[in-house]
Amino acid sequence: MLDRDQLLTIADQYGTPTYVYSESVILERIDRLRFHLEGLPLQLLYAMKANHAVPVMETMRDKGLGIDAVSPAELLLALRLGFKPERILFSANNMTDEEMRMAHEAGVILNVGELSRLEKLGKEFPGSSVCVRLNPQIGAGHHEHVITAGEKSKFGIPVEHIDRIVDVAQRYDLRIRGLHQHIGSGILDTETLWKAISVILDASRSFDTLDFINVGGGLGIPYRPEETGLDMELFESLIVSPLKSFIASHPSKNLSIWFEPGRYFVAESGVLLTQVNTIKHSTQRIFAGTDSGMNHLIRPAMYGAYHEVRNLTHPDGPVATYDIVGNICESADYFARDREVAHLTEGDIVGVMNAGAYGISMASTYNMRSLPAEVWVDVNNKATEVRKRKTAKDIVDEALSSGN
Ligand code: LLP
C-alpha cells in the first residue's frame, strides 16, 4: 500500500480531492487470485465498471486479462486500449438493437440475459455464437442493492427456462458457447457462492457446445478492521477443487472457467485524499467537514458502506469520535459516522481507504462540483496525474456551450 509520506506528497503536489491508485497492489491481487486458481483452465476478465482509469486498464491488459464491458463506451475503451475482441464479454443490461449490432460487428462475445434479446440476436444474426447469462436463483452480496441473482433480480434468464434457451438456439442455429452468472458483489460467503456455481455447472450439462463457463465476479475484500477478507483456503477447497473435478468429467473438450472480478483487483489499490477544512462542534457531535463528498465516493451514502478513514497529517494524536462529512447539500453526504480517528484539525489531509473500486466510476458532478483528480503510482513509485480537476470556470463554460 502507498505509505503516508507518499500520500502527503501527492496531496501537496496535486491538491485535494484526489484519488490515488497503486499499481503494485493491483499486480499483487491479480497474482494472488491466479495462484489460488492454479490448475484450472482459466481466463480472468476484469469488470471495468469498478474503475476504468486508463493505467488500471493497461495493467489488466498487460497481465493478460480480458474485459467484462457493460456499455458501448466501456466496450469502445477496451477495444481502443487493445484488448482482443475474443477476450471481451459484452454484458449490457437491457441491450438495445444498436448495442447488439455494435458488439457483433466488433467481434466481441455477446452476453445475453433476456430471452427476447436472444430471439432478436437469432433473427438478425442466425448461426452466430453467444454467451447466455443465467439467474441461478441464489444471490449474495454486501448489501441488498448489489445482489444480482435470485427471484427479485432483473438479471439473467431464470435457470428454470433452459428449455426455452435451447429452443431459441435451435430455431436460429445459435451456438451457445458460454454460460454466465454473476450473483452479486462484495461476497465473503464462499458457501453461497459455491451453491450458485453448482447450479450453473448442473445447467451446463444441457449444452454440448460450450467453450467456457463464466462464474462471475463478486469476490469481497476486507473493508472493516475486524474483517479478514475471503478465506482463500476455503475458497480453494469449496470452489476450486470441485471446479477442477467438474472440468475433468465434462463432455465438452477445452472447456475453461472464467472469473470476472472488479473489486478484488482494484479496491485496495485506491485512496481518496481529501482535506478537512471545517471542524464543527455541534451539541452532540463533532463534524469534520472535507472538500470532497458523496459525489466522489457514494458507497457510504448508498450502501452504508464502511471505508477506513485515516488522519494522514497527524496520525498519532489522541483519538476522538467524528462524523466525517462532505461538502454536498445532502444529509447522506458522509464518509464515516461515529468514527474514531486521530484528533483532526482544519487543514489535515485524510485518506479514505480501499476506495479503488466503485469510487471514481460512480462519481458525479452533483452540485456542479468537479470530479476529483486521479493519480497513478506505478511499480517504481512514479506518480502521474491521469485526471485533472476542473475549475468552476471550466464547468460553467461546458454548461453554457453544450446548449449551442
Ligand atoms: N460481472 C458483472 C456482470 C457485474 O455486474 C459486476 C458488478 C461484476 C462482474 C464485478 O463485481 P465485483 O467483482 O466488483 O464485485 N457499486 C457496488 C458494486 C456493484 C457491482 C455491480 N456489478 C459497490 O460499490 O459495492
CA torsion 81-58-374-311 (nearest 10°) is 160
Choose the final residue of a domain: 243, 262, 281. 262
* Mean pLDDT to the nearest integer, 277-287: 97
Q: Say if CB 35 and CB 232 are below 8 A apart.
A: no
* Mean pLDDT to the nearest integer, 20-40: 98
Q: What is the pLDDT of residue 152?
A: 94
Q: Are residues 241 and 149 in the same domain?
A: yes
- Determine the residue of 182, 213, 221 to mutate for testing ligand 1's pocket, defined as the one with the most ligand atoms within 8 A of the Cβ atom: 182
* Mean pLDDT to the nearest integer, 150-158: 96
| 193-204 residue pLDDT tens | 999 999 999 999
Q: Are residues 214 and 284 in the same domain?
A: no
- Nearest ligand 1 atom to the CA of 185 is 15
| 90-107 residue pLDDT tens | 999 999 999 999 999 999
Q: Is 131 one of the annotated active-site residues of the chain?
A: no
Q: What is the pLDDT of residue 257?
A: 98
Q: Are residues 217 and 337 in the same domain?
A: no
Ligand 1 and 262: CB distance under 6 A: yes
Q: Say if CB 55 and CB 386 are below 8 A apart.
A: yes
* Mean pLDDT to the nearest integer, 114-136: 98
329, 331, 400, 403: which is the annotated catalytic residue?
329
Q: Are residues 225 and 277 in the same domain?
A: no
Ligand 1 and 219: CB distance under 6 A: yes
Supply the range of the domain harboring residue 305.
267-399
Q: Which of 216, 114, 127 is closest to 170 using CA atoms?
A: 127
Cell numbers placing 327: 461538502
- Determine the residue of 26, 45, 49 to mutate for testing ligand 1's pocket, defined as the one with the most ligand atoms within 8 A of the Cβ atom: 49
In this predicted structure, the answer to whether residue 154 has a pLDDT above a threshold of 70 is: yes
Count the domains in the chain: 2
Ligand 1 and 156: CB distance under 6 A: no
Q: What is the pLDDT of residue 385?
A: 98
Q: CA 179 to CA 89: how far, in whole Å?
A: 11
Ligand 1 and 264: CB distance under 6 A: yes
* Mean pLDDT to the nearest integer, 112-130: 98
Domain presence at residue 89: yes
In this predicted structure, the answer to whether residue 253 has a pLDDT above a threshold of 80 is: no
Ligand 1 and 194: CB distance under 6 A: no
Domain presence at residue 18: no
Domain presence at residue 8: no
Domain presence at residue 228: yes
Q: Are residues 292 and 273 in the same domain?
A: yes
Q: Are residues 222 and 316 in the same domain?
A: no
* Mean pLDDT to the nearest integer, 140-153: 94
Ligand 1 and 19: CB distance under 6 A: no
Q: CA 129 to CA 46: how far, in whole Å?
A: 22
Q: How confident is the model at residue 252 (pLDDT cuts 50, 70, 90)?
A: confident
Q: Are residues 320 and 357 in the same domain?
A: yes
**Angular region, 368: left φ>0, alpha ψ -120 to 50, beta rest:** left
Q: CA 366 to CA 354: how far, in whole Å?
A: 23
Q: Are residues 98 and 205 in the same domain?
A: yes
Angle between helices 162-172 and 115-124 (to 10 degrees): 10
Supply the mean pLDDT for the chain: 97
Ligand 1 and 216: CB distance under 6 A: yes
Q: Are residues 161 and 201 in the same domain?
A: yes
379 CA from centroid of ligand 1 (Å): 26
Q: CA 54 to CA 102: how far, in whole Å?
A: 22
- Nearest ligand 1 atom to the CA of 45 is 9
Q: Are residues 336 and 214 in the same domain?
A: no
Domain presence at residue 192: yes
Domain presence at residue 246: yes
Domain presence at residue 97: yes
Choose the final residue of a domain: 195, 227, 262. 262
- Nearest ligand 1 atom to the CA of 70 is 3
Q: Are residues 106 and 227 in the same domain?
A: yes
Choose the final residue of a domain: 262, 284, 308. 262
Q: What is the pLDDT of residue 403?
A: 61
CATH (domain of 234): 3.20.20.10
Domain presence at residue 3: no
3-class SS letters over the chain:
CCCHHHHHHHHHHHCCCEEEEEHHHHHHHHHHHHHHCCCCCEEEEEEHHHCCCHHHHHHHHHCCCEEEECCHHHHHHHHHCCCCHHHEEECCCCCCHHHHHHHHHHCCEEEECCHHHHHHHHHHCCCCEEEEEEECCCCCCCCHHHECCCCCCCCCEEHHHHHHHHHHHHHHCCEEEEEECCCECCECCHHHHHHHHHHHHHHHCCCCCCCEEECCCCECCCCCCCCCCCCHHHHHHHHHHHHHHHHHHCCCCCCEEEECCCHHHHHHHEEEEEEEEEEEECCCCEEEEECCCCCCCCHHHHHCCCCCEEECCCCCCCEEEEEEECCCCCCCCEEEEEEEEECCCCCCEEEECCCCCCCHHHCCCHHHCCCCEEEEECCCCCEEEEECCCCHHHHHHHHHHCCC
Ligand 1 and 139: CB distance under 6 A: no
- Determine the residue of 44, 263, 268 to mutate for testing ligand 1's pocket, defined as the one with the most ligand atoms within 8 A of the Cβ atom: 263
| φ, ψ of residue 252 in degrees (nearest 5) | -65, 130
Q: What is the pLDDT of residue 251?
A: 73
Q: What is the pLDDT of residue 199?
A: 97
Q: Are residues 81 and 200 in the same domain?
A: yes
In this predicted structure, the answer to whether residue 132 has a pLDDT above a threshold of 90 is: yes
Residue 116 neighbours by CB under 8 Å, 6+ apart: none
Q: Say if CB 195 and CB 138 are below 8 A apart.
A: yes
Q: Say if CB 257 and CB 180 are below 8 A apart.
A: no
| 305-359 residue pLDDT tens | 999 999 999 999 999 999 999 999 999 999 999 999 999 999 999 999 999 999 9
Ligand 1 and 91: CB distance under 6 A: yes
CATH (domain of 354): 2.40.37.10
Strand partners, 66: 45
102 CA from centroid of ligand 1 (Å): 23
47 CA from centroid of ligand 1 (Å): 7
